[in-house]
Structures are given as C-alpha cells and as structure tokens.
Chain A
C-alpha cells in the first residue's frame, strides 16, 4: 500500500476535493466515504427538519391543516405547500394593508370592509393551518363586531406580527427542505410513498 503511486493526483470534482489513488481499493474507500458522508449529512438534516417542524406544531404556529396540506404535495406537485403558503402571505400583506387603511381615521372607520377583510384572513389562515393567525382573527372579528377601533388596531398589529413570524419560520423550514434535497435525501413524511433514508447502503466493490 505504501507505494509512490498512492500519492496520486488531487482532483476536484463536484466542488469537492478528494484524493484518488489508482488502486481499486481507492474506489471502495471513496464510495464508502461518500455514501457515509452523504448519509450522515442527510440524516442530520432530516432530523433537524423533523425537529423544527414538530416544534412549530408544538408552539402553535401550525395545526392539522398544515399536515393535510403537506399530504397534497407529491412528486407531481413538489412545491405545492410553498406556493400556497406564499400566496397566503401575499394575501395577508394585502389584506392587512387595506384593513390598516380602513382603520386609519378614527372617525371614518368602515367596519364592514374590515369585517370582510378579517373574514377573508380567517378563511385563508384556516385553509393553510396558520393557527396563531387564525386565533388572532377570531378575536379580531369580535372586536370588529362591537366596532371597537382600539381593539381592532391591536388585533391588526398582532396579526401582522404573527404572519411575519410564521413567514420567517416557514422560510427556514423550506430552506432545510432544500438542503435535504440537495444532499440527496428525501423529505421525511409520514406516508409510505416516500422512503426515509438509506443509511446502511454499502457498496460491495470486491468481486
């Protein structure tokens, strides 16, 4: 093994640096290492992803409807959740803007418009499973019903805060997803249509 040949070329492939030696065992080593590395990285990322997702549920940011939404995502529609969620956030920002305009002047508040906005927001948030946002919408609606401008303003602020917070969180989640996919792993789901992981694949290269 200790031959001059072993000090072979240093190559850069796929942006990664590795040392290729001419003998055949080098191939086993390489593959083992790659797979192992890949598996480790993927495993780590996947654990991270799952933990993060679970924490989002636990902290009340998301509820069951988000799970249902994830169920609708598959190989044919790989970005479904992201699209719906981004639409939701767009909607949120638009509605919040319009509601804030309505609530601007204390003497001329168009509660009807605010009410319809809140209704929309509630509907959207319950469709995507944004639990906190939905809960705020409920109290918002109550304030609106009694035409409490102060209350409405407070709720509006809270809604704004909540949706932005959720946006950040979901962004992180999607980033993690992307990283997993890039590392060659699969997004952990709870459904049999995705295989979880391949930590034990070993290349057997000796004939």
Chain B
C-alpha cells in the first residue's frame, strides 16, 4: 500500500498515469474483495452442509476489510482530509486484527480440511470395494438361482431321459454353452458311450475307452476340471476351422446304486461308476470359465446324480411291482384252478362215494348172509374170497376218501358228547371174539380219573382205537394184549417234540395198546405212518391192504391235536402203540350222587337245591320229582299236607304244592307254613302247581301268601326258567 503521508503539500506531480493505474487497480481490488464474500455467502447458502461458517465469516470480514482498505485508499491519492485518514487508519487497524485472527484460525482449520480430503478418498475406495463385492454376490445369487431352477427342472421328473435332457438344455442356456454332452458308461464298464448331447439331435453312437488319462483325471476328483478341447471326449463335432475352440470343462456324475443310500448320510463316493459331463464354451468368444460357473456345474452334477438315482429307484420299484402283479395274477389263476380242481374232485368223490358204497354194502351184506348158509366147501371158499375182496375194497375206498379229505384239510371233526367208557367197551366187544379164538387175552384198564362223558368225534376216535387194537391182535400169535386209557399229564414220556398242556375244560386222553407179538424193527417205525408203505416182515405177513390204516389214524390224531407213536424193542419183542388226543370234558355227568349241572345259558346253579314236592297224585308227583332231579335239585316228596308240614324245614328253599284237588285245605298249607317260619328269609318259597290259571286261582294263591303259580304239566324249560326267576326275585306270578 502506498505510504500514507500526512503532509499537506500536494504530492509531487508524479506520473499521473501511474496514479491512474493505481487508482483503477485499487478500485478493482476493492470490488473483487467485496464480491468474494458475496460469492462465498451465495454458494454457502446454496450448499447444505458447510461446517466452517465461523471461519467463513472471519474470512469474509477479512476480505471485506481488505476491500474497504483498498477502497479508502482511493481517496488517499489526492489530498485528503483528516477524517479520511482516520477512517483509513481504523480500517487498516481492523483489517490487521481480523487478518491476524484469520491467520491464526487457519492454522487450526487447514489440517482439518486436509483430513476431510483423506476421508473422502478412503470412503471412495470403500465404496468401490463394496461395489465389487456386491457384483460378486449378485453373480453368486444368480448362479444359485440358476442352480435352483436347474434342480427344479431336473427333479420335477422321474424319467431318466427327461432328466438328462433337461440338464443339458438348462445348463446350456444358463451358461450359454456351445455344446454340452453326457457320456455314460457301457454295460461292460470299459467304455464311455456318448449318450446325450445338447445340439446334435442324433448323436453318433461312439465310445471312448474309459481308461484314458484325461478321464481318470476327471473321475478322480469331485470338482469340475478344465480339459483340453482336443481330448477325445471334447471332440464332438468336426472341427470346422474355428479359430479358437472354447474352453472345455468336464465333471463326473456319480451313478449311485440303491445299496449306497444310508438313511441319514449322504453316500460317500464309494461307488465306482461315473458318467462324464462335458461342457464347451462357445468358440471364438474368448470367454473363460469363471469360478462360480465351475461351482454351478459341480452342483448340477451332484443333483443330476441324485435325480438319476431316484429315477433308477423308481424304475426298479415299478419293475418289481409289475413283476409282483404278474405273479399275483398267476397265483390267483393257479389258486382258482386248484380250487376248481378240488371242488371237482370233491364232487366226484361225493358222488362216487355214494354210488360205490351202495353196491359195496350190498355185496358185503349178502355175501355174509350167504356165508352162514349151508355150502359145499368149494362154494364156501368162493364166498369167502368174494367177501374178503369186497371187504378190502370197501375199506380201501373209504380210506382213500378219508385220506384225500384229510390231506387237503377239508375233513372236519364232528364233535359230540359221548360216553368214553362205553366206547372202549364197545371196541373190546368187537375185538373179543377174534382174540378169544386166537387165544389172546385182552384186558382193558381205564384210569379211575378218566372222565366218563367227553366231547369229541366219537366215530373217528373209535376208528383210531379199532385200528390200533386190531393191529395188535393181528400181529400177535401169542401173548396178551393190554389196552390202557388214562388222563395224561405233561411230563409223561411223550416224544420230545410234543408237550401236553391241559387246559381248563379239556384233557388229553392217552391210550396205550401193548402186545407181545411180532414186534417191529425200530428202523421201520418212521415208515409206519406214511401212507402206502408197508413193512414186509418175514413170511408171516400176507400182503394185503393198502397200508393206509395207520396213516389215517395219524391224521385223525393230529386233527384232534394229539400225537401217535409206536415203541418196539425189535422183531419178536412185541410193540406198544401209544396215542394222545385232546378231548373236551362234558358238563353232563350223571352218576348218582353227583348232581347234574344243566348246560343252559342261565347261570343259576340248582345243584343241591333242596326242594319239597307235595302232590297227592302219585304219577304227577313222580313226574315233578323227575323234572326237578333232572335239573339237579335234591327233592323230597310228600303226599299229604300233614306230611308236608311235618317234613318242611328251613333247609328247603322251595315247596311245590299241588292245588288241583278241589278244596281249600291245600291253600291252608301255605298259611301254616307262613306261621311256622316267622322270619322271611327262613321260609321256603311256595309255588302252587295247578291245572287252571284263571284269575280267581291266581288271586287266591296270592291271598294265601304263595310266591308263585305254575300250570301243570310243567315243561323242563319252563321249570328251569321259573326256578331261576324265583331264586333271583323271590317272587313269581305268571300264568303259563
């Protein structure tokens, strides 16, 4: 700045030009200095964020003052008054102050500003990095989307061809491939055959051996491997003079077998068979395989493996199911044929049975009759032969019939109640004549605890016993035969594979037939029970018969849930035939002293129930007594009212009194009994038996204190019902 001079003399008339220039410059400086803060203010106002307003203000003030100074300087070129000098001085002083302050402030500010710049740079870098990362993630996400889509496509079908085709198509689309191919191992496993390609519609069927190094390399790892475009697996199309073949990647696809799948873990790569998937980028594109693309390919290969396995499993199960269905159909047909055959056979047998038996019976009956007439020896011989033959034939017929029905299980036992003791005696009576003639004493021993009335198939049991005893008689020339019947317990030397467990209402009957006759070779024993086999022991046996007897007996015994076996110590030492059968114990036991328990659904047990019957009519008294005894009661009978009163006691639960005889005295009995037994529970129940049931009789009975009325004659069922009602309710008023 120009030095201020405070002389009053005018300046040296220096160059007016210089002064003019200074003047102008100062003016412009001032203008600039004034406009800068304005600009600053304007732009700061415009910007949203500016943290250094104070600095700006300071700077603005500094500038303004500087400007003011320069402006005031304009007046100092010429003579100026003291005021101007004062103003000038003030301005300068202020300017000095402010500028110093600003200078001081700037020391603090500038490093800050500089650091802002650093931060800005840093943030910019970060932003660029994030951008990059986002690009990566987006790529990955897209890859994932592709994979999902591919997987979805692949897994949405269970058809092998569709799966593979879809894979190739989708992969080709996703990765923009030029060519994609799948090589499957052949059946022999020594070659890879080109099975599917993307572009070529009908791939030429050609193969490469599986032991190529490049293939081994690919199979050796689960990753996608870049291979040379010139390797045999990649050379799919004739090289058409492209400049640069695209990069090729190959990946293995495990072909999993069913057996490889554990429940909870992914099968390890223990499988030996792989297919090869080859992917080629377009030629002349200078594209490279990116890592994420390779990953995509690997994932897809795995998915394809799984999908293929599923398809294989499905195929397998479909095949198995078809097979089973075929088998089912075949079995069904066979079964129906068998059933038809059985039915036809049964029909045939049923008809023939009757048709054959009738004439047979006729022959046997008449021959027997003939045999008992007077005949010449020749005639007798002939008749005997006829009888024998027809008898054997009849037996054979029946046996075969029985056996065939037994074999296919269509024979069923006919259960009924019968007397076991009587059965044994009957059998013995039948056999005794022969035994007597052959001089073989037969003894029968029935165990004392052997039940008398049993439930079972009487016919067949008799057949079995007859068979066994008959055999004993037949094969004995001397000695005695003993038949023992007992109830068997479970530890009784049964053959080891058979255990007897007596249950509640059943028991096992054991019959032992011991003879001292020809005996059997122990080696032949197993054969005895097989049909049509006959032991040819020595000359004592004449052949005859079909050998079915024991076989049938065994089957019947088995049907009765029992067992049959023969023990013999050898030839000539006799033998013992033993069998066990299961029989039911009948409810009906009729020995004297044992009260009968009726098998009726009402559970009321009348056993031992003491009753008194009063009836003047002997016949009807006897009938009523019989009725009550049949039901198991203990009956006392009296024929007059006096006797009744004498005999009646608190032990009698019921008193049946006949009130048919006209006269009132009968009813008096009731009153007298009421008098005799004051306590209600001691008094027996009183029932009137009457021939008419009109209302007056009933009313009369009730008025005399009787508990019930019955119409004579009483049926068994009626009496049973009445008794049970009476005992339950202690009262009965019913007209029948």
Contacts and interface: CB of A to CB of B under 8 A. Distances in A.
A165 interface: no
Contact of B544 (A11, A24, A33): A24
B721 interface: no
A29 interface: yes
A1 interface: yes
A193 interface: yes
A76 B713 contact: no
Contacts of B660: 119, 123
A28 B392 contact: yes
A36 B365 contact: yes
A33 B392 CA distance: 11
Interface string B344-366: 00000000000000000100110
Contact of B391 (A24, A29, A198, A207): A29
Contact of A76 (B416, B462, B548, B592): B592
Contact of A36 (B361, B419, B627): B361
Contacts of A25: 388, 391-392, 542, 544-545
B395 A40 contact: no
B125 interface: no
A9 B525 CA distance: 34
A203 to B, nearest CB: 5
Interface in A120-159: 120, 122-124, 126-129
Interface size range on A against B: 35 or more
A192 B549 CA distance: 30
A28 B395 CA distance: 9
A65 interface: yes
Interface residues of B, number: 83
B109 to A, nearest CB: 128
A127 B437 contact: no
B436 interface: yes
Interface stretch (A82-90, A98-106, A169-177): A82-90
B547 interface: yes
B462 A198 contact: yes
Contact of B549 (A37, A71, A77, A206): A206
Contacts of A9: 437
A207 B467 CA distance: 8
A178 interface: no
Contact of A127 (B473, B620, B661): B620
Contacts of B596: 74, 76
Interface in A191-207: 192-193, 195, 198, 200-207
Interface stretch (B71-79, B228-236, B377-385, B478-486): B377-385
Interface stretch (B164-172, B175-183, B239-247, B426-434): B426-434
Contact of A206 (B384, B437, B548, B622): B548
Given A71-B630, A72-B716, A207-B471, A29 B387 contact: yes
Contacts of A184: 426, 429
A193 B588 contact: yes
A17 B380 CA distance: 14
A7 B548 CA distance: 28
Contact of A207 (B368, B377, B547, B626): B547
A32 B550 contact: no
Given A198-B458, A203-B470, A84 B381 contact: no
Nearest to B594: A76
Given A25-B544, A83-B622, A207-B534, A11 B590 contact: no
Given A1-B385, A6-B384, A72-B627, A201 B392 contact: no
Contact of A72 (B391, B618, B626, B691): B626
A207 B713 contact: no
Contacts of A64: 715
Interface in B394-427: 394-395, 398-399, 416-419, 426
B549 A201 contact: no
Nearest to B544: A25
Nearest to B553: A204
Given A2-B381, A126-B691, A127-B712, A203 B463 contact: yes
A128 B626 CA distance: 12
Contacts of B364: 32-33, 36
Contacts of A33: 364, 368, 387, 391
Most-contacted residue by chain B among A1, A123, A124, A128 (CB, 10 A): A123
B506 interface: no
Contact of B385 (A2, A116, A128, A206): A2
A31 B662 contact: no
Nearest to A26: B388
Contact of B617 (A127, A195, A204): A127
7 contacts: A7-B377, A13-B433, A29-B384, A74-B596, A119-B662, A201-B463, A205-B549
Given A24-B544, A69-B626, A72-B629, 10 more contacts: A7-B381, A9-B437, A37-B365, A75-B453, A119-B661, A127-B713, A193-B588, A203-B395, A204-B553, A207-B549
Those 9 A-B pairs whose CB atoms lie nearest each other, nearest first: A206-B545, A76-B590, A204-B549, A124-B619, A127-B620, A13-B433, A205-B470, A75-B590, A127-B623
